[in-house]
C-alpha cells in the first residue's frame, strides 16, 4: 500500500491523464449500421438496456414494456403477451448497453436488428454506439410498445439507417467536436436541448444524403424525420460523450467517473480505475415541470444512459449555455442556471477550453467528475433529463433536473479505497 502522500500524487497524475484524454478526444460520426454488424460480440437473444445491470423482476414499468416490444420487433415472439412470458422465464439475456460501448436514452433498448450510429474517437481508435432517436410521442424509449413503435423501428433499420450510413461513408464522417462547440454557443446543452445541433448536423448531412440515397422517394420522409425532431441530435451527443469518456477508462489510480447511468430502478456509476464494477443506489425522483395533467406521483424514477453527456461537461453541467432549457426543466432564472454550471466546476477536474459558454465569458464546461470531490463537498452531479410516466407506454410527462444519488459516489470511493489498498 502506498503512503498517503504518494497515493495523493498518484491519483492527481491519474486524474490529469483522464482529463487530458477526454479533452484530446476527436469524435467523428462515421456510420449507421445494424447493431449486430456494428457491435462486436453482441450475443443473440440479448437485449441491451440503459443503466446498470437489472433483472426482469426488478425492471421499472416502461422498461418492461419496451422489452416486450423489442422482442416482438426482433420476431423472437409473435406478440406482447408471449414476449412477456419469454422475458420473465429467462428466455432473453439482459445486459447493460455500457457492456458493449453502447448507450441508449431512457429505456435504452438496443437489439441486434436496430440501426445504431457509430461514433469513432479518432484520437484513440475506440468506438461508441447509440440507436437513432425515434422522435417524440409514442416511442420505445418511453416504453411505447404498439405496432406503430415497432413499424417505425423497422423503417429506421431497413430504410433510414442504410441511407444515413451511405451518406456518412460518402463524406467520410461528420466531425462532432467543433459542431458541439458551436451548438453550445447556440443555446444547446446537448441533453434537454439539441435544437441547434440538429440543424447544424442536418446542414452537414443533407447534401450527401441527396447525393447517395438509393431510395429517392424515401428522401422527403428522411429529411422530415431528422428536421422535425429537435432531439434528433441527443443520441449523437450521447455516443460522442461515450466515445470521449471511454478513452479515460482504465487508468490506474484515477477517481474520475467514466459512467453514469440509470435503469429506472437503480442509478449506477463506474470509475476509471475500478474496471467494470458498478456502484449503485436507488434511482431518484426528478424534480421538474410536468406536462398538463401529470404530477410527480406519475413519474418513473430517473431513467436512461443519457447522463453520459454530463460526464463530459454537457447537459446539466452546461446549463448556463442553454437559457431555454432552464425554463423547460424548471431550474429557475437564467442567473440560477449559471450557478449550476459554476457549482459543477467544484466537483470536476477542469474546464474544456474547446467547449465554452458565451454567457460565462467563454468559460469551458466543467469536465471529468472526481468522485473524491463529490463525496468531500456533498455536491451531487446535476443532470438535465426527461421524465417518463411510471406506467408502461405512457411516454414523456415532463422534464427536470435530477441529482445523481450521493450514495453511489460514497460506495464508489469506498470501492476505490479498497482497490488501492490491494496495491
Binding site for a copy of itself (CB under 8 A): 182, 185-187, 195-196, 198-200, 202-204, 206-211, 216, 219-224, 226-228, 323-324, 333-334, 358-359, 361
Phi, psi of 255 (to 5 degrees): -100, 20
**Vertex 273: Cα angle to 271 and 278 (nearest 5):** 40
Which residues are 130's β-sheet partners?
A: 103, 117
| CA separation for the pair 187, 2 (Å, rounded) | 46
C-alpha cell at 281: 443506489
Phi, psi of 181 (to 5 degrees): -55, -40
Alpha-helical runs (H) found in 120-250: 147-155, 161-170, 177-184, 195-212, 219-227, 234-246
C-alpha cell at 146: 404498439
Closest CA to 188 of 309, 382, 322, 316: 322
Question: Taking a C-beta distance cutoff of 8 angstroms, is the pair 270, 258 a contact?
Answer: yes
Is residue 378 left, alpha or beta, with left meaning phi > 0 and alpha meaning psi from -120 to 50?
left
Least distance from a copy of itself to the Cβ atom of residue 68, Å = 33
Nearer to a copy of itself, 36 or 169 (CB): 169
Side-chain-side CA neighbours of residue 135 (13 Å): 15
Least distance from a copy of itself to the Cβ atom of residue 223, Å = 4
Question: Taking a C-beta distance cutoff of 8 angstroms, is the pair 391, 368 a contact?
Answer: no
Nearer to a copy of itself, 233 or 317 (CB): 233
Least distance from a copy of itself to the Cβ atom of residue 183, Å = 9
Q: If you ran DSSP here, which 8-state letter would residue 193 be given? A: -
Nearer to a copy of itself, 203 or 414 (CB): 203
Least distance from a copy of itself to the Cβ atom of residue 165, Å = 17
Nearer to a copy of itself, 63 or 213 (CB): 213
Q: If you ran DSSP here, which 8-state letter would residue 158 be given? A: I
Least distance from a copy of itself to the Cβ atom of residue 344, Å = 20
Least distance from a copy of itself to the Cβ atom of residue 402, Å = 23
Least distance from a copy of itself to the Cβ atom of residue 201, Å = 9
Nearer to a copy of itself, 40 or 361 (CB): 361
Q: Indicate the SS3 state at residue 176.
A: coil
Least distance from a copy of itself to the Cβ atom of residue 197, Å = 9
Nearer to a copy of itself, 122 or 221 (CB): 221
Least distance from a copy of itself to the Cβ atom of residue 348, Å = 23
Nearer to a copy of itself, 81 or 358 (CB): 358
C-alpha cell at 239: 455516443
Nearer to a copy of itself, 219 or 379 (CB): 219
Nearer to a copy of itself, 206 or 379 (CB): 206
| CA separation for the pair 412, 281 (Å, rounded) | 11
Question: Taking a C-beta distance cutoff of 8 angstroms, is the pair 258, 252 a contact?
Answer: no
Amino acid at each position: 500500500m502506498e503512503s498517503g502522500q504518494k497515493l495523493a500524487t498518484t491519483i492527481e497524475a491519474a486524474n490529469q491523464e483522464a482529463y487530458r484524454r477526454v479533452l484530446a478526444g476527436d469524435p467523428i460520426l462515421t456510420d449507421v449500421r445494424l447493431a449486430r454488424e456494428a457491435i462486436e460480440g453482441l450475443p443473440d437473444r440479448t437485449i441491451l438496456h440503459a443503466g446498470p445491470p437489472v433483472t426482469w423482476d426488478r425492471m421499472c414499468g416502461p422498461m418492461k414494456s419496451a422489452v416486450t416490444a423489442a422482442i416482438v420487433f426482433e420476431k423472437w415472439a409473435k406478440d406482447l403477451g408471449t414476449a412477456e412470458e419469454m422475458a420473465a422465464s429467462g428466455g432473453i439475456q439482459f445486459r447493460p448497453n455500457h457492456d458493449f460501448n453502447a448507450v441508449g436514452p431512457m429505456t435504452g433498448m438496443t437489439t441486434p436488428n436496430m440501426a445504431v450510429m457509430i461514433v469513432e474517437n479518432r484520437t484513440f481508435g475506440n468506438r461508441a454506439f447509440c440507436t437513432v432517436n425515434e422522435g417524440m410521442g409514442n416511442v420505445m424509449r418511453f416504453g411505447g410498445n404498439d405496432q406503430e413503435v415497432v413499424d417505425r423501428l423497422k423503417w429506421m433499420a431497413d430504410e433510414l439507417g442504410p441511407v444515413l450510413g451511405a451518406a456518412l461513408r460518402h463524406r467520410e464522417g461528420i466531425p462532432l467536436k467543433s459542431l458541439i462547440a458551436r451548438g453550445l454557443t447556440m443555446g444547446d446543452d446537448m441533453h434537454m436541448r439539441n435544437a441547434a445541433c440538429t440543424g447544424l448536423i442536418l446542414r452537414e448531412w443533407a447534401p450527401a444524403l441527396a447525393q447517395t440515397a438509393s431510395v429517392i422517394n424515401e428522401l422527403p420522409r428522411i429529411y422530415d424525420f431528422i428536421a422535425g425532431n429537435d432531439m434528433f441530435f441527443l443520441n449523437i451527443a450521447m455516443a460522442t460523450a461515450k466515445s470521449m469518456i471511454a478513452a479515460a477508462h482504465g487508468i490506474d489510480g484515477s477517481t474520475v467517473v467514466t459512467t453514469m447511468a440509470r435503469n429506472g430502478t437503480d442509478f449506477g456509476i463506474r470509475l476509471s480505475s475500478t474496471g467494470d464494477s458498478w456502484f449503485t443506489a436507488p434511482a431518484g425522483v426528478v424534480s421538474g415541470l410536468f406536462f398538463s395533467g401529470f404530477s410527480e406521483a406519475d413519474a418513473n424514477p430517473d431513467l436512461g444512459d443519457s447522463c453520459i453527456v454530463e460526464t463530459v461537461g454537457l447537459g446539466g453541467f452546461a446549463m448556463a449555455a442553454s437559457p431555454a432549457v432552464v425554463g423547460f426543466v424548471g431550474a429557475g432564472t437564467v442567473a440560477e442556471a449559471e450557478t449550476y454550471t459554476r457549482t459543477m466546476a467544484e466537483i470536476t477536474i477542469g474546464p474544456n477550453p474547446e467547449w465554452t459558454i458565451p454567457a460565462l465569458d467563454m468559460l469551458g464546461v466543467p469536465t471529468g467528475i472526481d468522485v473524491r470531490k463529490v463525496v468531500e463537498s456533498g455536491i451531487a452531479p446535476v443532470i438535465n433529463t426527461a421524465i417518463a410516466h411510471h406506467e408502461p407506454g405512457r411516454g414523456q410527462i415532463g422534464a427536470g433536473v435530477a441529482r445523481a444519488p450521493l450514495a453511489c459516489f460514497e460506495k464508489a470511493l469506498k470501492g476505490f479505497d479498497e482497490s488501492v489498498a490491494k496495491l
